[in-house]
Structure 1
Amino acid sequence: MKILFLHRNFPAQFRHLISHLINDPGYDLAFITNRKEAKLKGMTVGFYDLTRQVSEHTHSYLKNYEEFIIHGQGTARIAQKLKDKGFYPDVIIGHTWGQNLFIQEVFPDAPLIGYFEWFYNSKGSDTDFGKITELPLNKRANIRIKNSPILLDLISCRTGFVPTKWQKQQFPDLFHYKLNVIHDGIDTDICKPAPVRKGLDLHRLKLSIPSDCEIITYSTRGMEAYRGFPQFMEAVSAILKDRPEAHVVIAGEDRVCYGAQLEKGRSYKQMMTEKFPMDPDRIHFTGLLSYPEYLTLLQSSWVHVYLTYPFVLSWSMLEAMSSGCIVAASSTPPVIEVIRDNENGFLFDFFSTYQLAEKIIYVLENQDKLKYIRDNARKTICMNYDLKDCLKKQLNVIIGVISNRP
């Protein structure tokens, strides 16, 4: 069975699926990506260059569309080269960031499975979160056009994957029959509690926190408003003043992955550390961690904090729960699909730093009697998001699509 994967990055959300299939002689895998360093033994990887950047003269509504088209063109050109070498996929699995736009012009007989991460809405999701008034017309119109290439994928695909129910709800009802809610999966055999919770030792960073110190953890790709970094920093600044044994460990980069940048080139880390100065010996910015280091961090956590706008749910929250963390998280829709307050975690209002600080302190002061939260958190992930189960569901969809080819 020949499968062609499409994604700007590599291997991205297809990492687990590819790892599962790559050593099976029954599968012949290929991947087209814009990531130059992409290599993986056992599969063909095709890299495309961008022929140009989005023009500064393009209408502002169409800049995102033009970017998608440029990626789609690059993908199609590499796909044609694969075809010329005799690679004809039985199925194509592609992320909906433009890669799928022209792929069926190259392989018209190959069914397309879309990976649908997000559909933009001007009401009730990330774009108007926390806003009292309606978004301006210009912004609403831009959002409407931003969905155009995604709609083309919804029309073209045979079926699709979407990671959570909340994310599926963002898409028009008309297409719900095509969307299978299947998460990418959490490897619960790796993301698991330590036999005995100790302090934190990250030898590469020369960071060591003794086991009798309270460890508050936060992990993110980027320190940004979408993931509640400002609220987190404000809350922990008050906690560190009152709790001399508390340490805060923040894993992630000082950048913005989602949402708007601050003006004048400032970062959220810069802004919040200036606004809320903290003892540098007790607040630790690790930068990006290797996966083993990241798991060590989660296993050391007394309380793990996660905030998000009504947007895509991060793997990190589920990995923390699988690792037996007590998670204090914002009571936003993607979170409450997973966490039930005082049952498998704790919830607080996204904009209330007082509530957040209150939840953190409660968890720090009641570690022994909250073991049931840790146990229930892991049980939730093992029952609903375990990698082995998610892979089975994904493969069932893939095999079903191939079996029903005309």
Structure 2
Amino acid sequence: MALRVLLLHQNFPGQFQHLAPALVNRGDDVVAVGRRTGSYPALAGRLRWLATGGNVHNDLRHGDPERRLLAPWHQARRVVDCLTPLAASGWRPDVVLAHCFWGDALLLDDLFPAAPLVALLELDLSSPQVWGGAASPGRRQLQQWADALAIRRMAVGVTASRFQRDSYPSWLHPRLRVIHEGVDLQACAPDPLARLQLPGGVNLGPEAMVLSFAARSLEPLRGLDRLLAVLPALQRRLPRLQVVLAGACDRGCYGAAPPGSESWLAHLLARLGDSIDRSRLHTPGLLPRSQLRCLFQISRLHVYLSRPYVPSWSLLEAMACGAPVLASHDAGVEGLVLEGVNGRLLPADDPHALLDLLVPLLEQPAAAAALRLGARRHVAAHFDHRHCVSAQIELLDAVARGQELPSP
């Protein structure tokens, strides 16, 4: 029997990019609520996508702490306003899947008190595992008060990796399931003919010595400072090297805000001054998905230097495209990058080790051939989006029908 499914995510589709079409295609009645609307052209007329407006992400990063605390409440009210006409028409969800951090599910009971909630829980920000256990855990607990209330309300929670699950206290683990969103292995695949056209006329292909780095925003939390710290020496040793930093250059998204009015990229580059060759450093901003895949396909080495945090989609997509990976050895990449099998691992915050590994991996592409193959095989074995979506749907079905959930 078809389900009525409500998907809440302020940045919809977000983690539901593969799940939402799968639900619609099997005949479920799906309503999605996000900050803005968009479209799945193949699902036109079959997916109801409602927009709340507002910008809760910016509100949660505002300098006024009161505004940050109230941001989830205002987002919850926008969601209720958006869904009230639908509820008045008699529509009721059989199950709700919500990314709860921004407050989207806070007032769920005002409209749908009987609807079971599956809560997408990304990370416990106050965990000592996150950001290396840096200070101010109390403030981080306040940042995720909407998550805390969702945990009380939910039938079950979902996280994408063991590291993310383990950031939460052990008493909560029996109520959490680890299911990744998955990677589209057809879209993200090796292509020996791939080329990347960058602004300014730069055209790069597999013959170039390309070092890739990708993040939603270029900031220290994602390891930008670690890479730029060794860039002068790296460029001196490798005159043919082309470095591509893909990501928003004008803001920080996850970690601390940059000093003053500068972006983190501008701040860190200013400190390097004339010690680097800017003509061999490319910062194209946020690339469209097709161009980002081209970057991974031509990359001689993909660098992933995030502090312990939510593992980036770009890491798995780069591996699916056959890019060998050099990553910081911490809990955030455990089970994803396997030393000598699908990538190389280096001790965190060791610039000498970083430089010593970067140079031979970039100079000797043939030696990294086994890593390329291992990277693709690992993602195909564990993160094929078809298998991940099947596990997500199986969980939603069980919750909607009130079935007892198997042990995690």
TM-score (norm. length: structure 1)? 0.90
2:79 to 75, 88, 102: 75
What is the SS of the residue equivalent to 1:265? coil
1:322 to 315, 320, 324: 320
1:81, CA displacement in angstroms? 1.8
- For residues 392 and 23 of structure 1, do their structure 2 counterparts lie closer, same or farther at Cα, with a shift above 3 Å needed? closer
What is the SS of the residue equivalent to 2:17? helix
What is the SS of the residue equivalent to 2:133? coil
Correspondence for 2:226: 231
Give unpaired runs (5+ residues) of structure 2. none
1:64, CA displacement in angstroms? 3.7
Does the CA-based 8 Å contact 1:299-1:324 persist in structure 2?
yes
Amino acid at match of 1:17: L
1:222 to 199, 204, 217: 217
Q: Deviations over 1:272-324 (max 9, x none)?
A: 22222422321111112111111111110100101111111100001111111
1:144, CA displacement in angstroms? 3.0
Aligned length in residues: 393
Q: Deviations over 1:32-78 (max 9, x none)?
A: 1222x4344221122224499979x9994x65431111111111222
Distance in 2, Cα, partners of 1:225 & 1:317: 16
- For residues 50 and 274 of structure 1, do their structure 2 counterparts lie closer, same or farther at Cα, with a shift above 3 Å needed? closer
Distance in 2, Cα, partners of 1:179 & 1:171: 10
Alignment map for 1:359-370 (pairs within 5 Å) = 359-370=357-368
1:79, CA displacement in angstroms? 2.2
Distance in 2, Cα, partners of 1:102 & 1:269: 39
Amino acid at match of 1:359: L
Amino acid at match of 1:318: L
Does the CA-based 8 Å contact 1:51-1:74 persist in structure 2?
no
Distance in 1, Cα, partners of 2:357 & 2:392: 37
- For residues 369 and 197 of structure 1, do their structure 2 counterparts lie closer, same or farther at Cα, with a shift above 3 Å needed? farther
1:274 to 270, 274, 284: 270
1:354, CA displacement in angstroms? 1.9
Correspondence for 1:124: 129
1:123, CA displacement in angstroms? 2.4
Does the CA-based 8 Å contact 1:184-1:387 persist in structure 2?
yes
1:95, CA displacement in angstroms? 0.4
% identity of equivalent residues? 26
Does the CA-based 8 Å contact 2:252-2:258 persist in structure 1?
no
1:180 to 174, 177, 181: 177
Alignment map for 1:296-307 (pairs within 5 Å) = 296-307=294-305
Correspondence for 1:256: 252
Correspondence for 2:6: 4
Correspondence for 2:139: 142
Does the CA-based 8 Å contact 1:79-1:103 persist in structure 2?
no
Amino acid at match of 1:28: D
1:334, CA displacement in angstroms? 0.9
Correspondence for 2:51: 47
TM-score (norm. length: structure 2)? 0.90
Does the CA-based 8 Å contact 1:344-1:376 persist in structure 2?
yes
Correspondence for 2:399: 401
Correspondence for 1:91: 95
Does the CA-based 8 Å contact 1:122-1:143 persist in structure 2?
no
What is the SS of the residue equivalent to 1:70? helix
Does the CA-based 8 Å contact 1:167-1:312 persist in structure 2?
yes
Correspondence for 2:20: 18
41-50 or 249-258: bigger deviation: 41-50
1:101, CA displacement in angstroms? 0.9
Distance in 1, Cα, partners of 2:205 & 2:401: 56
Correspondence for 1:28: 29
Distance in 1, Cα, partners of 2:353 & 2:340: 14
- For residues 372 and 210 of structure 1, do their structure 2 counterparts lie closer, same or farther at Cα, with a shift above 3 Å needed? closer
Does the CA-based 8 Å contact 1:308-1:332 persist in structure 2?
no
Does the CA-based 8 Å contact 1:164-1:182 persist in structure 2?
yes
Distance in 2, Cα, partners of 1:356 & 1:173: 34
1:161 to 155, 158, 161: 158
Distance in 2, Cα, partners of 1:333 & 1:259: 18
1:369, CA displacement in angstroms? 2.5
1:150, CA displacement in angstroms? 1.2
Correspondence for 1:344: 342
Distance in 1, Cα, partners of 2:244 & 2:197: 11
Correspondence for 1:292: 290
Distance in 2, Cα, partners of 1:73 & 1:201: 43
Correspondence for 1:132: none
Alignment map for 1:238-249 (pairs within 5 Å) = 238-249=233-244
Amino acid at match of 2:218: M
Amino acid at match of 2:368: L
- The answer as to 2:75 corresponding to 1:66 is no
Distance in 2, Cα, partners of 1:310 & 1:58: 25
1:257, CA displacement in angstroms? 0.8
What is the SS of the residue equivalent to 1:248? strand
Amino acid at match of 1:69: W
1:237, CA displacement in angstroms? 2.4
1:114 to 92, 115, 119: 119
Does the CA-based 8 Å contact 2:125-2:137 persist in structure 1?
no
Distance in 2, Cα, partners of 1:334 & 1:148: 23
Give unpaired runs (5+ residues) of structure 1. 130-134
Amino acid at match of 1:29: V
Correspondence for 1:101: 106
